[in-house]
Amino acid sequence: MSDNADQNARAPLAGSADPDKVATSPAPHSPGAAPMREMKADLVVIGAGSAGLSAAAGAAQFGLSVVLYEKGEMGGDCLNSGCVPSKALLSAAKAAAQVREAGKFGIETTPPRIDWEKVKLHVRTSIATIAPVDSQERFEGLGCTVIREHAKFASPDTVISPTTRVKARRIIIATGSRAFIPPIEGLANTPYLTNETLFAQRDAPGHLLILGGGPIGVEMAQAHARLGCKVTIVEADRALGREDPEAAAVVLDALRRDGVRIVEQARVSRVAGQAGAITLSTEAGETLTGTHLLVAVGRQVMTDGLGLDAAGIETSKTGIKVDAGLRTTNRRAYAIGDAAGGMQFTHLAGYHASVILRSMLFALPARASTHYIPRVTYADPELAHVGLTEAGAREYHGDRLTIARFDMAENDRAIAERRTEGAIKVMVVRGRPVGATIVGVRAGEQIAIWGLAIAQKLKMSQVAGMIVPYPTYAEVNKRAAGAYFSPRLFDSQAVKRVVRLVQSVLP
Low-confidence winner among 18-32, 34-48, 327-341 (lowest mean pLDDT) = 18-32
Give the chain's count of helices (H) and strands (E).
Answer: 18, 22
CA 463 to CA 441: how far, in whole Å? 20
| 7 pLDDT above the threshold of 70 | no
Per the CB < 8 A criterion, the answer to whether 164 and 40 are in contact is: no
- pTM, to two decimals: 0.90
CA 70 to CA 219: how far, in whole Å? 28
199-257 tens-digit pLDDT: 999 899 999 999 999 999 999 999 999 999 999 999 999 999 999 999 999 999 999 99
| 14 pLDDT above the threshold of 80 | no
CA 236 to CA 250: how far, in whole Å? 20
Residue 387's alpha-carbon distances to 233, 384, 397, in angstroms, are 28, 11, 13
294-347 tens-digit pLDDT: 999 999 999 999 999 999 999 999 999 999 999 999 999 999 999 999 899 999
- Strands (E) across 222-354 are located at 230-234, 261-263, 268-274, 277-282, 287-290, 292-295, 299-301, 333-335
- Strands (E) across 350-400 are located at 375-377, 382-387
- Residue 406 has phi, psi (to 5 degrees) of -150, 135
Q: Are strands 333-335 and 164-173 parallel, antiparallel or unpaired?
A: parallel
For 98-162, give the DSSP string. Answer: HHHTGGGGT---PPPPP-HHHHHHHHHHHHHHHGGGG-HHHHHHTT-EEE-S--EEEETTEEE-S
Q: Are strands 230-234 and 261-263 parallel, antiparallel or unpaired?
A: parallel
| 419 pLDDT above the threshold of 70 | yes
Name all domains of the chain by residue range, CATH numbers in brackets. 3-74+135-178+300-362 (3.50.50.60), 187-298 (3.50.50.60), 381-490 (3.30.390.30)
The single-letter DSSP state of residue 408 is G
Residue 56's alpha-carbon distances to 43, 119, 131, 161, 266, in angstroms, are 8, 34, 16, 18, 44
Q: Is 300 exposed, middle or buried (0-12, 13-18, 19+ CB in 10 A)?
A: middle
Q: What is the dihedral of CA 452, 456, 461, 466, to 10 degrees?
A: -40
What is the pLDDT of the chain when averaged over all its residues? 92
338-374 tens-digit pLDDT: 999 989 999 999 999 999 999 999 999 999 999 999 9
| pLDDT number for residue 491 | 66
For 232-269, give the DSSP string. Answer: EEE-SS-TTTTS-HHHHHHHHHHHHHTT-EEE-S--EE
CA 89 to CA 379: how far, in whole Å? 11
Q: Are strands 177-179 and 207-211 parallel, antiparallel or unpaired?
A: unpaired
Q: What percent of the chain has pLDDT over 90?
A: 87
- Residue 52 has phi, psi (to 5 degrees) of -65, -40
Element (H, E) at 53: helix 50-61
CA 306 to CA 173: how far, in whole Å? 9
The widest CA-to-CA distance across the chain, in whole angstroms, is 100
472-501 tens-digit pLDDT: 999 999 999 999 997 766 666 776 777 777
Residue 466's alpha-carbon distances to 82, 130, 442, 454, 456, in angstroms, are 35, 34, 19, 16, 15
| Cβ neighbour number for residue 87 with a 10 Å cutoff | 14
